[in-house]
């Protein structure tokens, strides 16, 4: 699961979920496994976990979606190196 999840409301893109992950020994497969676990958790009825459409998924430093907001959220999770940004609703 994501190490930290933030909800950004009233952005130009609507409401966004920003999920930060710390992936040790990164590989595309390791990141996909982490995101896949989140998806499985989110699709369990009553889990309270939300899943939205992906706007960006990859390295934090390369995020082009609301980069200033992502940078500021990343300060709360400096050990995280990957991010998934989703549009909710």
- What's the pTM value of the predicted model, to 2 decimals? 0.74
Burial class (CB in 10 A: 0-12, 13-18, 19+), 88: middle
> Helix, strand, or coil here: 76?
coil
| pLDDT at 40 (0 to 100) | 66
d(CA 15, CA 8): 6
Residue range 49-85, pLDDT digits in tens = 566 688 998 889 999 999 999 999 999 999 999 998 9
**Torsion of the alpha carbons at 39, 18, 55 and 79, rounded to the nearest 10:** -90
Residue range 40-49, pLDDT digits in tens = 666 555 655 5
| pLDDT at 6 (0 to 100) | 95
Residue range 9-51, pLDDT digits in tens = 999 999 999 999 888 766 777 777 777 777 766 655 565 556 6
Burial 68-87 (b: 16+ CB within 10 A, else e): ebbeebbeebeebbbbbbbe
d(CA 44, CA 23): 24
């Amino acid at each position: 699961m994501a190490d930290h999840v933030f909800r950004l409301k009233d952005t130009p893109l609507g409401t966004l979920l920003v999920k930060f992950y710390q992936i040790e020994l990164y590989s595309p497969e390791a990141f996909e496994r982490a995101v896949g676990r989140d998806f499985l958790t989110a699709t369990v009825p009553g889990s309270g976990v939300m899943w939205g459409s992906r706007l960006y998924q990859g390295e934090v430093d390369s995020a082009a979606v609301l980069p200033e907001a992502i940078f500021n959220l990343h300060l709360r999770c400096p050990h995280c190196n990957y991010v998934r940004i989703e549009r909710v609703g």
